Amino acid sequence: MTNNAVSIQSLSHRYGKVLALDNVSLTIPRGVTVGLIGPDGVGKSTLLSLIAGVRIIQNGSVNILSGDIAHAKTRHELSHRIAYMPQGLGKNLYPTLSVYENIDFHARLFGLTAAERKKRIQRLLDATGLAPFPQRAAGKLSGGMKQKLSLCCALVHNPDLLILDEPTTGVDPLSRRQFWQLVHDLQQEQQGMTVIVATAYIDEAEQFEHLLAMDAGKLLENRPTKEVLAHYGTATLEEAYIKMLPEDRQTNSQFELTPFVPLPDAPPAMKAHGLTKRFGNFTAVDHVSFTIAKGEIFGFLGSNGCGKSTTMKMLTGLLDATEGSAELLGYPIEANSMQTRMKVGYMSQAFSLYEELTVRQNLLLHAKLYQMDGISGTQAVLRALHDFDLDKVADTAPASLPLGIRQRLQLAAACLHHPEVLILDEPTSGVDPAARDMFWQTLLKLSRKDRITIFVSTHFMNEVERCDRISLMHRGRVLAVGTPTELVAQSGESNMEEAFIHYLEQDAAQTQPENAQNSVSGCLKYADGDCVQLGDDVLAGEHLGRIVAIMEQNEFAPHLVAKEWAHLKTGVLVEFENSGLVHYPDEQAIVNDLVFVSRVSGSLKESQPEKHSHASDSFVYWFATMFTFARREAKELLRDKIRLFFALFGPLIMLASIGWSVSFDVNHLKFAVLDRDQSVFSRQLVEQFRGSSYFDEQPELRSEAEIDHALKSNSAVLVLDIPDHFGKDIAQGRQPEIGLLIDGTSPFNATNIQAYAAALVSRFNTQTLKQRGIELPQSAEVVPRYMYNQDFKSVNAIVPNMLMLVLMMIPAIMTALSVVREREIGSIANLYASPASVSQYLLGKQLPYVLAGLFNFLVLSAMIVFWFGVPLKGSFWALLLGSTLIVGASTGLGLMVSSFTKSQTAAFFIAAIVAMVPTVNFSGLMYPVSTMTGGAYAIGVSFPASWYQRISIGGFTKGLGLRGLQLEFAMVAGFALLYLVLACLMLKKQEK
């Protein structure tokens, strides 16, 4: 066994033609903290995902903790010792699950017992400060709290290797500092744990013992951080990283900010007063006010979700303000105002130009959009290519350009129409330091030489110091406005980052006094004056216990049922190991009997941790893990109102609408008469139609023009046109012709109308001949008898077929969305990094939707019998078994679709088409399968709906039971198993 946690040799990885990793080799000793630095797109995430085993190795070797992670068996064994936190804020979390439920889910994946889970989760909650919020939904946490919860989920199984992929991107400086302190403390307590961290903030990596630096898929440095700084002779890691880059990408001079001199008597370029934006009950921007002088570089600093982008969109006229006002160059800003947009250049956070067009074509298109046609547009593009140093890449597509040049292209497009104000939303996010310096040199030139006002948001502290003035923003509110020097001086701190943290802490103290957890005066206290908090370890005499409930604050430990203790209004509950729960009714009892010990109970990792025999190898664990996925999916489904409505009420709406609207019954059909003869015989003929239950007479027609109008307006589907001399011709023994004009837009009904009308005319002829004393010879009469559906009601045939369509379509769509949804939000990484298998994951995903499908079947069956009046003549249990199998087949089909689709939109349409088209056209809904031939018949019998159609119709109308449907049961079950197996084969345990 080597002393290295990670050993990589000649590792290369490609995404199509893009080389993400280029022959990387490195070793990382055990027990160290490693910082992995580099801008976006250099291969950091690819490298970490390969180390974590969640991505397939293409070339090279990766040995983790002395095991070759390329082998599936080794990956499975090492998964218990590796924790992987993917890139993105809370990507390994489930927003609708609570804090406790998220950690519990991860603990179950790794086979922890109930006692281990309870003990471990409580320790993690205590250590991270999340103990007061176990029931809060993850989606309602702040960015910093989400990252702490993500860390809890990663650490719940005591890993030996912790991999964090940009865990603090977009998080405010205070939360970042708290997060890194937490990681440091946890590593100290878990001796021997190796931590590898990729970070977008290069200076953040200075705190780590070891450094990995990457650029363009290659490893630039792999040595202790102190040695790197000493080798390059720089004060900061960012300056050292610039020196690591090739010479042609290094900045030649230090950035120098020339002082801003405002124009005398010039009106403000931008002014906001009480600007507020609400989305429903959520306030994104809360009464923001500031003034920006013409030509000034005004910075906006804040974490993701604090309202920066929303404020910028309101200032560009892209978004209406809920309250407040904003002015641009002395004029009110109006949403959708072209005058406003002609004066503003806007550069969005993400690349917003066209990847299919070249650099030159993008700029020409932008010129035309801003009404710069002909020579003026061409000249403006040539000038922009020169000014922004884009001449050499003018005919290159943006997709093949480095991120820094792409951002310069966006800036060139924003400046093309000579705006007076530039609004830049995090323009340098993910760009390497050298390219950032060049970008800021351009901004300085635009501000000082062209007097363009620049309003820029950023995450980087060194960029903030390059602004003339800055606004610090947090949770939709402006905390402070001033020059960087002024804000640092007012805070009493040494630098801008510490100043921002100071303002955040000051704001927290002012806005949260009502929270008893953070209020000294509003809490219960120990004898030493410290506040009582949930999870505190306390001593009562010689007995060690823990605070598990604080009544006044309505806070309860996750394992307690709050309703059972609702009768206790005051005091606290303490749980002792031997004597159970004890209630201390007031502060006096707490002061007299309890002594505060600690807020973190022991080490997060025992000095001699229990050695599990990897419960994931057991048969019980296999099913337990499957039910873990099922429980989590069921909870998410029940808490997502839109998906729940679609799953439970979509089938009811679908059956009701189709069952009511589709009918092939020929009853009470409207007919009209144009009687040109008005004789006894013509009236007798009309009486034949009047006396029939199939036809209802409409007002008599007066002319041929009314015939056409009656058929076109649907006031009649049959018009009887009786010619002149009709009665006279019959009396003289001739055979007069009559007109039967039928609406043929519905061929099935038209054929039936023709047959009924012909029968009525034939009966009129027979009666007329009898009146004249002529008896026709009796011919053989065919009297059909219907074995099933004796009333010949179409509802008895259509509605059971609709049951087939609903149970085939809705569950398929729901399951198709479930897997691809996780792929989109990133939580599928939990499957990749855990010991769980693909089959456990898919079966767990499938189970809640099978249960939802069975619920639908029961409700739909009751609806069919009691609402539509279709009798259930066969065995209910046979129908229940068949419906269970068809739901299994349809959900399996959905899983199969979701295994190869990349977006929810694609999954929805593919699942809907694949489920609906064969069901409607080839499964007996429109035409019996027995009448089909060739390819149509092959498609029909190769799809489960055609076999379930026999079960549905057989159960409702033919009186069939279990014995009569054995072949159908076997075929539908076979399809369900086939789809599930195919889904398991198509969904890989690793990404490519």
Q: Residue 475 belongs to a domain with what CATH number?
A: 3.40.50.300
Q: How far is CA 243 from CA 34, 249, 494, 596, in A?
A: 20, 9, 27, 53
pLDDT of residue 336: 63
pLDDT of residue 335: 60
Q: Do residues 85 and 204 both lie within one domain?
A: yes
Torsion of CA 39, 45, 47, 50, to 10 degrees: 180
Q: Do residues 762 and 799 both lie within one domain?
A: no
Residue 246 lies in a domain: no
pLDDT of residue 611: 43
SS3 at position 262: coil
Q: Which of the listed residues 164, 194, 221 is the one where a domain comes to its end?
A: 221
Q: Do residues 644 and 700 both lie within one domain?
A: no
Q: Do residues 647 and 673 both lie within one domain?
A: no
> What is the token pair recorded at 852?
């939802």
Q: Do residues 841 and 873 both lie within one domain?
A: yes
Q: Do residues 845 and 760 both lie within one domain?
A: no
Q: How many distinct structural domains can be found in the chain?
A: 5
d(CA 813, CA 652): 16
Q: Do residues 294 and 350 both lie within one domain?
A: yes
Q: Do residues 98 and 217 both lie within one domain?
A: yes
Q: Do residues 758 and 826 both lie within one domain?
A: no
Question: What is the chain's Cα-based Rg?
Answer: 38
How buried is residue 924: exposed, middle or buried, by Cβ count under 10 Å (0-12/13-18/19+)? buried
Residue 241 lies in a domain: no
Residue 664 lies in a domain: no
Report the predicted TM-score, pTM, of the whole model to 2 decimal places.
Answer: 0.73
pLDDT of residue 133: 79
Q: Which of the listed residues 549, 572, 598 is the one where a domain comes to its end?
A: 598
pLDDT of residue 992: 82
pLDDT of residue 969: 93
Residue 932 lies in a domain: yes
pLDDT of residue 823: 87
Q: Do residues 287 and 319 both lie within one domain?
A: yes
Q: Which of the listed residues 475, 494, 511 is the one where a domain comes to its end?
A: 511
CA atoms within 13 A on the CB side of 103: 32
Q: Do residues 329 and 427 both lie within one domain?
A: yes
Residue 257 lies in a domain: no
d(CA 949, CA 941): 11
pLDDT of residue 815: 93
Residue 32 lies in a domain: yes
C-beta of residue 878 within 8 angstroms of C-beta of residue 951? yes
Torsion of CA 901, 902, 906, 907, to 10 degrees: 50
Nearest C-alpha neighbor of 942 from the set 906, 972, 911: 972
pLDDT of residue 894: 94
CA atoms within 13 A on the CB side of 342: 7
DSSP β-bridge partners for residue 98? 137
Q: Do residues 552 and 643 both lie within one domain?
A: no
DSSP β-bridge partners for residue 525? 531
- Domain coverage including residue 52: 4-221
Angle, CA of 946, 950 and 954, to the nearest 5°: 165
Q: How far is CA 75 from CA 620, 739, 988, in A?
A: 21, 82, 14
Residue 787 lies in a domain: no
d(CA 89, CA 167): 7
Residue 859 lies in a domain: yes
All residue ranges of the chain with pLDDT < 70 are 1-2, 142-144, 170-172, 249-257, 303-305, 335-337, 340, 349-350, 402-404, 430-432, 511-522, 528, 558-564, 566, 577-579, 598-618, 663-666, 776-783, 785-792, 794
| HEC per residue, 697-757 | ECCCCCCHHHHHHHHHCCCCCEEEEECCCHHHHHHCCCCCCCEEEECCCCHHHHHHHHHHH
Torsion of CA 462, 312, 344, 439, to 10 degrees: 20
pLDDT of residue 515: 42
Within 10 Å of residue 432's Cβ, how many Cβ atoms? 24
C-beta of residue 570 within 8 angstroms of C-beta of residue 555? no
